[in-house]
Amino acid sequence: MPLLPTLMRTTAARLSALFLLLFAICAVVLVLYLTSLSSRMLTTQTRETIIEEVQSLDRAYQRGGLALLVRTIGLRSRQPGANLYLIADPAGQILAGNVESLDPAILGEEGWTELPFTYQRYGEFQQPDAGERPAPHYAIALVMRLPNGMIALVGRDLGEPERQRDVVRQALMLAIGMTALSGLAIWFFVGRRALKRIDGMSEASRRIMEGDLSQRLPVSGSGDEFDRLSENLNAMLAKIAALNKGLKQVSDNIAHDLKTPLTRLRNRAEEAMARNDADAYRDALAATIHNSDQLIRTFNAILTISRLEAGRTSPDMLAPVSLAETVRDVLELYEALAEEKGVALVADTPTDAVVEGSRELIAQALSNLVDNAIKYARRGDGAAKVVLRLEADEREIRLSVADNGPGIPEAMDRERATERFVRLEASRTEPGSGLGLSIAKAVMTFQRGELRLAPGDPGLIVVMAFPRSRERP
Amino acid sequence: MSGMKILVIEDDRDAADYLQKAFTEAGHVAHVAGDGDTGFALAESGGYDVMVVDRMLPRRDGLSLIAALRSQGKATPALILSALGEVDDRVTGLRAGGDDYLAKPYAFSELLARVEALSRRGGAREAETVYRVGDLELDRLSREVRRAGRDITLQPREFRLLEYLMRHAGQVVTRTMLLENVWDYHFDPQTNVIDVHVSRLRGKIEKGFDKPLLHTVRGAGYMLKA
């Protein structure tokens, strides 16, 4: 049967089979327990009846002696559905009653018979040629020895064991039938509904793998485990899609931004080759080297950003960094440049703040911001000025660079400014790889902080915000 | 400068050939080893002024090769070349016993300048207390700078800049080398801030004197030379 193994491979079928088995075991145990309990109750009840009977017989014996007792027993034993009565002489010879035969050993011991015994009721052998032995009866009885040595037995039939077994069998059949039904119900609900949803998920993932990243896993809205799984996977997919989109945009931007200098490089070489002049050659070669260096720098910047975004680091890189010291260092590095460009570069660091991070990366981010600020401050009205400020409150530490240049008036443009290679139209003419802000942003993401662009009055304020939790006491 | 004997341990055949040719053209002798074991054997036999070691090598990686040499007491200066190129990689590279670190892609002029700077390492220059280039004199202990007997006042950072340039007098020093050794930063600034510092320093040591000392080497960096 190839169908069964195939069917058993589905979780629904396996789960249903397991439940079915468990339920069946439970049902059988329950039925057996109830049966034994009820048979025990029946025995107790029977014994009580027998004792009552014995008491009534005892009264007859007291009143009329053995003769009345035998008569009473003879009378009672002929009633339909009667109890069992037996009077035997000390040798075990049956004198009266409705029991025709029984194991003599039973009469040998006084008191309650331990176990139900079999006996033949009087008159059941009236058709001996019927050939068929009637089914034996089960009974329990009280055996008493009378003062004159005679043995009296009063018992009660427990019914045919066959019938008892039938009752149990029926109960078992019913229990197993119910279990099978509930197994089917489980298979239907688990298989049809829950596991169908898993099938739906794998179907959606297959389509995603085939390249359709816009596909999402189904969410039923019930908020159950499957929904939570789907929601998380969907969030992951959204992130992957965003990264993918980012990657595509980056490669487009790289292609675009590197094509220009590469074309220039090639044109210049071609142009120099056309001229047969040693000086032209030398100039062209020098320019080629210069442009190649620029390209290498751009590549290195892209590599830095990707590494930071991948979050790759070793514990070597992380150490307590004094931000005030970093400000001093960067200020010193840029002071000469600012002075040359006629920009006042000042720092306002009333207190120091120490963050856990990379001194190198924080300095790189800050110097990129200062670099930009110096560039743009000069394009504003009035005396160009760049202010580095270090502030801290209980929530975060902010290291900001403010210039009084033209700023970025549109909020949307400020958002876009930190994207890789994005150089707002107005700044297309400035030199630079266009990666300075992107690097700063990547550094802040790596530091678990944030890079914020806010409008100044006038100009632009770029804030490196470090969360407090990363700070060392 | 006089030719050096350079050992290039690099498994990329093209890159190794290019380096060998370029070093030869620069007036040096370069030998190439294509894997870690060969490189180790060559380096062990000695006689090299500098080695350029790629980090990822077949058979034996660059870092363990350098560490093994160092444990044998071989102090041949080593420059590690790496495609990984991050600050943390630099730290592990230098910790393994490397003397300098350069990430791919790099400009050959940068590599050459660094290799030439390395070859002088451990030489007499470290120990000298007074550096002299032409009539320029720098006293490392009293932190005084004089040219032709005239005192020159420098800011602390300018002093360190001049000190580094004088230690490598006659050699090309790149902007990144200056940023790394004088400012202790390894990133690439957007604008060449170093140029401004160098031109300031140049103003201080050359203004009023006829002979230029601090030369710009096109496409490479600077050189202090009498």
Q: Per-residue pLDDT tens for B12-63?
A: 888 899 999 999 988 888 999 888 888 888 888 878 889 999 888 888 888 8
A25 touches chain B (CB under 8 A): no
| Per-residue pLDDT, B8 | 92
Q: How many CA atoms lie within 13 A of A94 on its CB side?
A: 19
| C-alpha to C-alpha distances, A146 to A152, A271, A426, nearest whole angstrom | 7, 142, 127
| Per-residue pLDDT, B162 | 93
Q: Please, which residues have CB within 8 angstroms of residue B177's CB and are 6 or more apart in sequence?
A: B113, B114, B117, B221
Residue that has been written with the tokens 């590469």 in this structure: A262
Minimal CA–CA distance to B198: which of B211, B184, B214? B214
| Per-residue pLDDT, A376 | 84
Q: What is the pLDDT of residues A55-105, one digit of tens each?
A: 888 888 888 877 887 788 777 777 766 677 888 887 777 777 777 667 777
* Chain-chain contact of B91 with A314 (C-beta, under 8 angstroms): yes
pLDDT at A9 over 70: no
A304 touches chain B (CB under 8 A): yes
The stretch A129-153 carries a mean pLDDT of 69
* Chain-chain contact of A289 with B109 (C-beta, under 8 angstroms): yes
Q: Please, which residues have CB within 8 angstroms of residue B103's CB and are 6 or more apart in sequence?
A: A300, B81, B82, B83, B84, B85, B86, B89
Percent of chain A with pLDDT over 70: 81
Strand partners, A348: A389
User: What's the burial of A308, exposed, middle or buried (CB within 10 Å: 0-12/13-18/19+)?
Assistant: buried
Could you give the CA distance from residue A415 to residue A412 in angstroms, rounded to a whole number? 5
Could you give the CA distance from residue A224 to residue A228 in angstroms, rounded to a whole number? 6
Residues 399 through 438 of chain A touching chain B, CB cutoff 8 Å: 431-433, 436
A292 touches chain B (CB under 8 A): yes
Strand, coil or helix: A118: strand
Of the pLDDT bands very low, low, confident and very high (cuts 50, 70, 90), residue A403 is confident
Could you give the CA distance from residue B181 to residue B160 in angstroms, rounded to a whole number? 9
User: Is 0.95 surpassed by the pTM of this model?
Assistant: no
| Per-residue pLDDT, B122 | 46
pLDDT at B92 over 90: no
pLDDT at B89 over 60: yes
Could you give the CA distance from residue A419 to residue B212 in angstroms, rounded to a whole number? 45
Strand, coil or helix: A74: helix
* Chain-chain contact of A358 with B107 (C-beta, under 8 angstroms): no
Strand, coil or helix: B180: helix
| Per-residue pLDDT, A421 | 53
B105: cis peptide before it, omega within 30°?
Answer: yes
Contact list in B for residue A367 (CB cut-off 8 A) is 187, 189-190, 193
Could you give the CA distance from residue A150 to residue A93 in angstroms, rounded to a whole number? 10
User: What's the burial of A115, exposed, middle or buried (CB within 10 Å: 0-12/13-18/19+)?
Assistant: exposed
Contact (Cβ atoms closer than 8 angstroms) between residue A135 and residue A76: no
Element (H, E) at A414: helix A411-417
Pairing of strands B150-152, B136-139: unpaired
Element (H, E) at A153: strand A151-159
| Per-residue pLDDT, A116 | 60
**Best residue in A316, A361, A423 to probe B by mutation, most B CBs within 10 Å?**
A316
Q: What is the pLDDT of residues B120-179, one digit of tens each?
A: 654 556 678 888 888 888 998 888 998 888 888 888 889 999 999 998 888 889 988 999
Closest CA–CA distance from residue B92 to any residue of chain A (Å)? 8
B187 touches chain A (CB under 8 A): yes
Q: How many CA atoms lie within 13 A of A363 on its CB side?
A: 25
Closest CA–CA distance from residue B86 to any residue of chain A (Å)? 7
The two most distant CA atoms of chain B are separated, in Å, by 59
| Per-residue pLDDT, B160 | 92
B193 touches chain A (CB under 8 A): yes
Q: Which residue blocks in B107-169 are alpha helix, DSSP H?
A: 108-119, 124-127, 156-167
